[in-house]
């Protein structure tokens, strides 16, 4: 069968027939991979993640999760294998942090969690805010609370849409390390900050709903590829394993 | 969590007992004359049960509706069901239909309105909260206009009965309507309780609800049907009773939080209690004249709500 635990086969998607947002997309995500999606605004990163989570249904082609068509899964069964965290988190969530995090257990009826609520809160540094209302948290804290919920959900495939947005640099790095340290977890993350791409195994570069290329950060984050993806001239300076991206002087 | 529900359940049973045995005339549960027994069983019991059912239905459907619409200002009556019920019930009363047919007419009007609102709010295979709200408001206005047109053309006697009905008049409650109300309201509550996790998930937004394993569109439809059944039954049992559907869930949110597994049953029990007590006061304070219970409910509930609003700083606890 097909390679990869989450695979896109010739997937096209559009809201309106005239404008295809995603065109003939082929992707295979292997177990345990740590992947980022990189591309300009409107390149289709979020749409790809929503397709992968089953929120959107492809207009053409198919998506499989563990070699079974995504649309054949029951909601609860899929939720045990795959979870999705949207980029925009609702501001009006009326729950307390602990209540929100506990909702991560909803797909499981009676199975005890692998990661407890207290662990999940500690991992994201919110243990002191357990009883705060989510809508009183700062933007970064709110995002971390939702990440704790996702961790408690315990799915093997995490599709995260710009989870680093509104996080301090400390929490950006901590989140990446945290996700890397969870065993057997596969992460596909839409990414805004190109510098962070070097923390990943694989970079998928997208433009206008198509994949420009898939490879290691060193292969994919070059002046040429970035210019093609972002339509702007960038300069890359490498120091050891690090790379620094800046505007090219005119 | 269980403790809070048990406490409220005790309060509700207490309210039931007080509403049943006291009133303009106190009836001792231990020493009853034949006449008193007759009053208790044929007049008070159906009336108190109806008050309890209506309160339970409005309290819980308010909580559920505020969840599915993700709008804390939603009231079960905003769906236009009560306007539809008022239209059909008043048409019956004005045209001189028999009293026993009125609850049936009201229920039919409410359910049909619910169906129209549901269909109007459908888009791409699902119910959309904003459309639901707007369809309900639009249809409500239309039915109110038709109702007023009908009233302005009607005779005095029919008009008086129609207006009394709309005020929320529990004095005409008869045993015959109770079983139907009980079935639909209990059904609605059971659905709401079984889907309380889905309702919580909907509050996080559709995408996260999906990620947690729920189909947002399907859950909204099921919960909307539950709200329609409960609200329609309550309007059919006793007309329109304000305040409970909108503000009881808020009072309970102050007291027990927003988790719907707790909020829905607590709003239901508190709604039932306050309506039983309000109705008791309504028929007692200036007996034999009755004050419609909807007025009393609001007179008790609104100041308490405002007190909580002032006292509890909900944002910084």
**Closest C-alpha to B292, from B302, B301, B304, B283:** B283
CA-based nearest distance A55→chain B, Å = 7
Question: Given an 8 Å threshold on Cβ–Cβ distance, is A136 in contact with B208?
Answer: no
Torsion angles phi and psi, residue B240, rounded to 5: -95, 125
Q: Which residue has the tokens 């129609």?
A: B162
**Closest C-alpha to B55, from B192, B189, B254:** B189
Residues 6+ apart with CB under 8 A from B58: B76, B230, B231, B234, B241, B244, B245, B248, B271, B275
pLDDT digits (tens, 9 = 90+) for B228-239: 999 989 988 888
pLDDT digits (tens, 9 = 90+) for B45-57: 999 999 999 999 9
**Closest C-alpha to A52, from A164, A207, A158:** A158
Question: Given an 8 Å threshold on Cβ–Cβ distance, is B211 in contact with A84?
Answer: yes
A99 CB within 8 Å of a chain B CB: yes
Cβ contacts of A136 on chain B, cutoff 8 Å:
315-316
Contact B278, B293 (CB under 8 A): yes
- List domains and CATH numbers for chain A: 6-247 (3.40.50.300)
Q: What is the pLDDT of residue A174?
A: 85
Q: What is the pLDDT of residue A46?
A: 92
Confidence of residue B13 (pLDDT cuts 50, 70, 90): very high
B54/B237 Cα distance (integer angstroms): 7
Contact A53, A84 (CB under 8 A): yes
Instruction: Indicate if the pLDDT at residue B315 is higher than 50.
Output: no
Q: Which residue of A has its CA nearest to B200?
A: A103
pLDDT digits (tens, 9 = 90+) for A75-132: 999 999 999 999 988 888 889 999 999 999 998 866 666 678 898 899 888 999 999 9
Confidence of residue A17 (pLDDT cuts 50, 70, 90): low
Instruction: Indicate if the pLDDT at residue A4 is higher than 90.
Output: no
Cβ contacts of A93 on chain B, cutoff 8 Å:
203-204
CA-based nearest distance A109→chain B, Å = 11
Determine the distance from the C-alpha atom of residue B225 to the mean position of all C-alpha atoms in its chain, rounded to a whole number: 14
Determine the distance from the C-alpha atom of residue B192 to the mean position of all C-alpha atoms in its chain, rounded to a whole number: 14
State mean pLDDT over A165-182: 85
Q: Are strands A210-215 and A34-38 parallel, antiparallel or unpaired?
A: unpaired
Q: What is the pLDDT of residue A1?
A: 40
Q: What is the pLDDT of residue A111?
A: 66
Q: Which fold has domain B2-19+43-310?
A: ABC transporter involved in vitamin B12 uptake, BtuC (1.10.3470)
For chain B, how far is it from start to end, CA to CA, in angstroms?
18
**Residue of higher predicted confidence among B293 and A8:** A8
Cβ contacts of A106 on chain B, cutoff 8 Å:
197, 201, 212-214
Nearest CB neighbour to B211, from listed A83, A92, A96 = A83
**Residue of higher predicted confidence among A17 and B25:** B25
Q: What is the pLDDT of residue B135?
A: 92
Q: What is the pLDDT of residue B316?
A: 43
pLDDT digits (tens, 9 = 90+) for B56-80: 999 999 999 999 998 888 888 888 8
Nearest CB neighbour to A106, from listed B201, B215, B314 = B201
Query: What three-state secondary structure class fits A55?
Result: coil
Cβ contacts of A104 on chain B, cutoff 8 Å:
212
Confidence of residue A7 (pLDDT cuts 50, 70, 90): very high
Q: Where are the domains of chain B?
A: 2-19+43-310
Query: Using N-to-C axis directions, what is the helix angle for A169-181 and A139-153, rounded to 10°?
Result: 0
């Amino acid at each position: 069968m097909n390679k990869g635990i989450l695979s896109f086969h010739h997937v096209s998607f559009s809201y309106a027939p005239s404008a295809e947002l995603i065109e003939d997309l082929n992707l295979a995500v292997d177990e345990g991979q740590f992947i980022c999606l990189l591309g300009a605004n409107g390149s289709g990163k979020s749409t790809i993640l929503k397709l992968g989570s089953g929120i959107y249904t492809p207009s053409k082609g198919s998506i499989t999760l563990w070699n079974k068509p995504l649309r054949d899964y029951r909601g609860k069964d899929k939720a045990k294998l795959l979870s999705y965290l949207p980029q925009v988190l609702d501001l009006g969530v009326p729950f307390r942090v602990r209540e929100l995090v506990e909702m991560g257990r909803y797909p499981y009826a009676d199975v005890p969690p692998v990661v407890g609520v207290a662990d999940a809160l500690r991992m994201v540094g919110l243990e002191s805010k357990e009883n705060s209302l989510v809508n009183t948290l700062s933007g970064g804290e709110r995002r971390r609370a939702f990440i704790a919920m996702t961790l408690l959900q315990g799915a093997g495939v995490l599709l995260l849409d710009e989870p680093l947005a509104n996080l301090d640099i400390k929490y950006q790095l901590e989140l990446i390390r945290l996700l890397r340290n969870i065993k057997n977890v596969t992460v596909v993350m839409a990414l805004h900050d190109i510098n962070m791409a070097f923390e990943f195994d694989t970079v998928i570069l997208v433009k206008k709903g198509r994949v420009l290329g898939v490879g290691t950060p060193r292969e994919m984050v070059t002046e040429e590829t970035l210019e093609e993806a972002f339509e702007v001239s960038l300069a890359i300076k490498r120091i050891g394993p690090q790379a620094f991206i800046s505007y090219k002087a005119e | 969590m269980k403790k809070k529900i048990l406490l409220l359940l005790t309060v509700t049973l207490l309210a039931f007992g007080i509403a049943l045995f006291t009133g303009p005339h106190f009836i001792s549960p231990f020493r009853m004359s034949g006449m008193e027994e007759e009053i208790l069983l044929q007049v008070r019991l159906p009336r108190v049960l109806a008050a309890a059912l209506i309160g339970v239905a409005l309290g819980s459907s308010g909580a559920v509706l505020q969840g599915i619409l993700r709008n804390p200002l939603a009231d079960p009556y905003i769906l236009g069901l009560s306007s539809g019920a008022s239209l059909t019930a008043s048409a019956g009363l004005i045209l001189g239909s028999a009293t026993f047919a009125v609850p049936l007419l009201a229920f039919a009007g409410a359910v049909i309105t619910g169906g129209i609102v549901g269909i109007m709010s459908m888009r791409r295979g699902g119910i959309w909260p904003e459309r639901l709200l707007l369809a309900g408001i639009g249809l409500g206005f239309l039915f109110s206009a038709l109702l007023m047109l009908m009233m302005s053309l009607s005779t005095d006697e029919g008009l008086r009965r129609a207006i009394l009905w709309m005020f929320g008049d529990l004095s005409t409650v008869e045993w015959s309507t109770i079983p139907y109300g009980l079935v639909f309201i209990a059904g609605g509550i059971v659905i709401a309780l079984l889907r309380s996790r889905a309702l919580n998930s909907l509050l996080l937004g559709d995408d996260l609800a999906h990620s947690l394993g729920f189909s947002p569109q399907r859950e909204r439809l099921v919960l909307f049907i539950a709200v329609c059944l409960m609200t329609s039954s309550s309007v059919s049992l006793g007309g329109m009773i304000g305040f409970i559907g909108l503000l009881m869930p808020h009072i309970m949110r102050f007291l027990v939080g927003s988790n719907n597994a707790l909020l829905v049953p607590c709003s239901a029990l508190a709604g039932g209690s306050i309506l039983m007590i309000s109705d008791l006061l309504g028929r007692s304070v200036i007996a034999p004249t009755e004050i419609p219970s909807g007025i009393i409910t609001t007179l008790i509930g609104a100041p308490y709500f405002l007190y909580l609003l002032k006292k509890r700083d909900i944002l910084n606890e």
